[in-house]
Amino acid sequence: MTEAVSKLTWDLESIFPGGSASPEFAKFRKDLAADLESATRDVEALRKKGAAAPAEEWIDTMVRLRDLRERINHGGSFAYCLSSQDVNDEKAMVMLEEFSSYEAASDALRTAVEGFARAVDDATWEKIVSDKRLSGEAFFWNEFRRHARLKMEPELEKLASELAVNGLHAWERLYTKMAGDLRAEFTVDGKTEKLSMGQIKNKLSDPDRSVRKQAFEKYSEAWKSIDSLASMQLNSLAGFRLSLYKARGWDDPMFEALLYGRIEKKTIEAMWEAVEAHRGVIARYIDAKKRCLGIDRLMWYDQLAPVARAEKKFTYEQAAEFVIEHLMSFSKDMGDFARRAIESRWIEAEDRAGKADGGYCTSLPLLKQSRIFMTFSGNYNEMMTLAHELGHAYHSYVLKDRDYFARSYPMNLAETASTFNELLVTDAALNATDDEDMKLSLLEKKIQETFVMCCDIRSRFIFETKFYEERKKGSVPKDRLNELMVEAQKEAFGEILDEEGYHPLFWASKMHFSISDIAFYNFPYTFGHLFAGGIYDRARKEGPAFADAYRALLADTGSMTCEQVAEKHLGADITGQDFWNDAVARSLADVDEFVRLVK
């Protein structure tokens, strides 16, 4: 491997040397399996003691559960990295299934603790969570008890977890394999090659409209070739989830997402109302963008089109230094962390076939490290992806010394640090240039992000809401899924997209609809974008002096609800309309300047 290539590929060897054939990883898994088996036997014996079991034994069990979940997270992240870097690594796929079984085994322990938490009296419970071994996670354990009282009887929850390994979670694994195997022929300058879906998606931001159009058509054709399988997969995943919800007495398909998102439904409703109220401002931005692009109709594949006459390209090294420099301008802690992550090769960025689609950041809790997965081909969007994922990694870094369960923050707040990074880097770049063409490009990227959050993400939310309502009545055919997707896009985009510019197969091509852990993995992005904008506004006003307060806010995300974090650190009531109206208006504040520059 050349030095240039090695900088673009991540270091997994320092985690477990040898990849999917690693002897150390094999021993790790063997020891984990043995400890899970031993814990299962001990907990079963503890359950038989019933009320006679001393509280001390339950404290030991809760500490044991924490240790096992941390190890499962660590090993599962490593296996996921292996499967992402090479979708044909069959051993890695088998290991992912193996870790699903470990999760199910630990869920059985969790279920036993839930049974105890449901039944124990308040005084005993308070004594338990005040113990020095658990007090650092008191918020989590109290929440744990509340959630336990909303579920089925422990034996039924245990059965549901076991069935999910080869049911609910298997449908997500199938989707990952389907998406990873998809290829499409793509022709540029007379040269035709087979590309993965991730490589083709990157071309949707190409300055050449014919390239974008071809990318969209090839992408759609590829998914059309397996839309029957994708429909079966999505319906089966949702059907499993709805059956489980029905047994628990959860009527609202959003109930779980709200519960584990630590957020109230009225907060989400207030956010979407504010988004809808500002669609006219978004339309002004799109009208100006169309003039810039020289087009009359905005198609799906035009959303990410660059408006600059010559889109600036970056090498990976240039992008990395750009991000580090501007993070450092706000917080030395953030800048130093980003440099360490990049120089330690925590990032997989090489543009090659055989990789999984998309990008993510995953934690390795036993090492107190993260790994970032993306595909970098040199454009500005990918530099922002780098900044975004480094935000996630920094968030984990801030929490790394907390007890394991106190590091677990809700999915809504998960987008806070990532979006903050994007805003910081974009504004720093704007302030550093006098070139109007460059300013136009940077402003467009910034507003484009809000456009995506307010229209694209909202369309996903609307689709999923309507899909789950119809799925309650039976399986939804692929043609109806296409219709629901277009209906959702029309509602969210209004007349912004051309009548022929929608993406009917988006339900199939978007991985987020097939995440098995939780439904409605969409509104957290919009929440995070707008919420982070409020935090960033404070940072802009106070400068580097706000860095410590920002870190303190991130540190509280594992121990508070979204509403509590906003109240404590921003003095804001996010269940009301005022906060969100201000947040959306602030995110679109650059539209006037963008329109001026276009004219």
Residue 339 maps to a domain: no
The CATH number of residue 208's host domain is 1.10.287
Residue 127 maps to a domain: yes
Q: Are 335 and 328 in contact (CB under 8 A)?
A: yes
Tokens of 555: 């540190």
Cα–Cα distance measured from residue 105 to residue 111, given in angstroms and rounded to the nearest whole number = 10
User: Residues 81, 161: one domain?
Assistant: yes
Give the pLDDT score at 357: 78
User: Residues 252, 119: one domain?
Assistant: no
Give the pLDDT score at 310: 56
Backbone angles phi, psi at 423, to 5 degrees: -65, -40
The range of the structural domain enclosing residue 50 comes to: 3-166
The HSE-up count of residue 315 (CA atoms within 13 Å, CB side) is: 6
Give the pLDDT score at 428: 81
Residue 574 maps to a domain: yes
As for how many domains the chain has, the answer is 3
Residue 330 maps to a domain: no
User: Residues 421, 545: one domain?
Assistant: yes
User: Residues 303, 188: one domain?
Assistant: no
Give the chain's residues under pLDDT 50: 1-5
User: Residues 112, 54: one domain?
Assistant: yes
User: Residues 452, 527: one domain?
Assistant: yes
Backbone angles phi, psi at 186, to 5 degrees: -130, 135
Tokens of 487: 């209906």
> Closest Cα partner for 380 from 298, 444, 286?
444
**Which amino acid makes up residue 310?**
A
Give the pLDDT score at 2: 43
CA 483 to chain centre: 26
Tokens of 447: 């507003």
Domain boundary (117, 134, 166) is at: 166
Residue 464 maps to a domain: yes
Residue 573 maps to a domain: yes
Q: Are 532 and 510 in contact (CB under 8 A)?
A: no
Q: What is the CB neighbour count within 10 angstroms for residue 582?
A: 16
Query: 14: Cβ–Cβ under 8 A, 6 or more apart, which residues?
Result: 367
Residue 194 maps to a domain: yes
Sequence-ordered strand ranges (E) for 54-98: none
Give the pLDDT score at 3: 47
The CATH number of residue 464's host domain is 1.10.1370.20
Give the pLDDT score at 6: 57
User: Residues 43, 99: one domain?
Assistant: yes
User: Residues 138, 203: one domain?
Assistant: no
Whether the model clears a pTM of 0.75, i.e. scores above it, the answer is: yes
Give the pLDDT score at 401: 95
Give the pLDDT score at 311: 62
Angle of helix 265-277 relative to helix 279-293, nearest 10 degrees, comes to 50
User: Residues 117, 47: one domain?
Assistant: yes
The CATH number of residue 91's host domain is 1.20.140
User: Residues 85, 31: one domain?
Assistant: yes
Residue 492 to residues 296, 357, 489, 501: CA-CA distances in angstroms?
20, 25, 5, 13
Give the pLDDT score at 1: 37
Give the pLDDT score at 154: 83
Domain boundary (157, 191, 225) is at: 225
Residue 36 maps to a domain: yes
User: Residues 44, 125: one domain?
Assistant: yes
Cα–Cα distance measured from residue 354 to residue 195, given in angstroms and rounded to the nearest whole number = 9
Query: 163: Cβ–Cβ under 8 A, 6 or more apart, which residues?
Result: none
Residue 410 to residues 122, 245, 256, 329: CA-CA distances in angstroms?
26, 20, 12, 28
User: Residues 136, 244: one domain?
Assistant: no
Backbone angles phi, psi at 147, to 5 degrees: -65, -40
Specify the DSSP element, H or E, that contains 360. strand 360-364
